[in-house]
């Protein structure tokens, strides 16, 4: 099973992905976490990614696509499936993912799309900035990430809707438990028997 957790910065992708991972026994692949780990070990990729992330820009597809290809390959046949968190973030990445999966006769089975007003998202990210000091949680980087999301990432949802993939739209306002209750109810009919 291949699921995507999709949403703007601060919508709770990482938070909800951890819960879906436990509930459905899917491997959790977060591109944000992979890039932060690369940055921490100061690899060539990590240093380039860190510079872009700090400004709120997306990391180029040429860097992300091979990482996802390798990670999906590693997990093939070893887990019930994979939940991708933060990938694809552009229509080009979505097409690359679809092509990788199609080679094995697979496709994206469901998309969980978290939705919340920008004001709420900015408030959450500024709160995280105060607590965790993530380099991309500055006000300027947050504004840029929101812009990138609306211009380049939001069209990914239309890509999957157009391909007939079930998309569960979830109101991401409320506590993590409240949001997860909605995710859980929406996923039930999409994953039963898989
Ligand atoms: P991510 O790590 O995916 O960053 P994010 O969008 O902020 O999501 P995250 O999972 O961290 O936060 P969440 O919404 O769960 O990516 C970081 C950067 O990496 C990107 O900006 C980009 O530069 C690069 N990147 C990653 N993937 C890429 C790709 N495919 N292509 C190109 N570039 C890529 O949570 C946010 C905060 O809200 C947290 O503090 C959380 O505790 C809080 N929160 C969550 N749910 C809440 C709730 N219900 N109520 C209150 N607070 C809540």
pLDDT at residue 191, rounded to an integer: 80
- 193 domain residue, yes or no: no
Residue 3 reports pLDDT greater than 80:
yes
Position in ligand 1 atom list of the atom nearest CA 85: 3
CA of 104 to the centre of ligand 1 (A): 29
Q: What pLDDT, on the 0 to 100 scale, is given for residue 151?
A: 98
pLDDT at position 192? 73
- Does pLDDT of 123 surpass 90? yes
Pocket of ligand 1 contains residue 53 by CB under 6 Å: yes
How far apart, in whole angstroms, are the C-alpha atoms of residue 65 and residue 67? 5
In a domain, 129, yes or no: yes
Counting ligand 1 atoms within 8 A of each CB, the residue from 16, 51, 86 with the most, and so the one to mutate, is 86
What is the predicted pLDDT for the residue at 190?
Answer: 83
Residue 75 has a pLDDT of 84
Rounded to the nearest 5 degrees, what angle is found at the Cα of 147, between the Cα atoms of 144 and 153?
115
Per-residue pLDDT tens over the stretch 55-113: 999 999 999 999 999 999 988 877 889 999 999 999 999 999 999 999 989 999 999 99
Compute the distance between CA of residue 73 and CA of residue 126 in angstroms, rounded to an integer. 36
Does residue 92 sit within a domain? yes
- 96 in any annotated domain: yes
Q: How confident is the model at residue 35 (pLDDT cuts 50, 70, 90)?
A: very high
Per residue in 145-192, pLDDT (tens digit) is 999 999 999 999 999 999 999 999 999 999 999 999 999 999 998 887
Q: Which of 141, 109, 111 lies closest to 10 in space, CA to CA?
A: 141
Q: What CATH number has the domain bearing residue 148?
A: 3.40.50.300
Cα 65 vs. chain centroid, distance in angstroms? 14
- Compute, in angstroms, the gap from residue 59 CA to the centroid of ligand 1: 14
* Domain-embedded: residue 177: yes
The rounded distance, in Å, linking the Cα atoms of 100 and 94 is 10
Is 194 within a domain?
A: no
pTM more than 0.85: yes
Confidence at residue 167, expressed as pLDDT on a 0 to 100 scale: 96
Best of 48, 59, 140, 183 for a ligand 1 pocket test (most atoms within 8 Å of beta carbon): 59
Q: How many domains does the chain have?
A: 1
Q: Is residue 148 part of a domain?
A: yes
Residue 73 is assigned to a structural domain of this protein:
yes
What are the backbone angles phi and psi of residue 102, rounded to the nearest 5°? -60, -30
User: Residue 118 belongs to what domain range?
Assistant: 2-188
């Amino acid at each position: 099973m291949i699921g995507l957790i999709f949403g703007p910065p601060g919508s709770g992708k990482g938070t909800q992905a951890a819960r879906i991972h436990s509930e459905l026994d899917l491997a959790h692949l977060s591109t944000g976490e992979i890039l932060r780990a690369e940055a921490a070990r100061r690899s060539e990729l990590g240093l380039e990614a860190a510079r872009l992330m700090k400004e709120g820009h997306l990391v180029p597809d040429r860097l992300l696509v091979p990482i996802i290809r390798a990670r999906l390959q590693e997990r093939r046949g070893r887990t019930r499936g994979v939940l991708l968190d933060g990938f694809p973030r552009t229509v080009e990445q979505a097409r690359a993912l679809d092509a990788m999966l199609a080679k094995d006769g697979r496709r994206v089975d469901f998309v969980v799309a978290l939705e919340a007003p920008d004001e709420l998202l900015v408030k959450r990210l500024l709160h995280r900035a105060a607590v965790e000091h993530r380099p991309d949680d500055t006000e300027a980087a947050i504004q840029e990430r929101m812009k990138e999301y609306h211009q380049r990432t939001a069209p990914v949802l239309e890509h999957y809707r157009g391909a007939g993939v079930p998309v569960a739209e979830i109101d991401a306002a409320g506590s993590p438990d409240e949001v997860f209750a909605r995710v859980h109810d929406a996923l039930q009919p999409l994953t039963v028997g898989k």
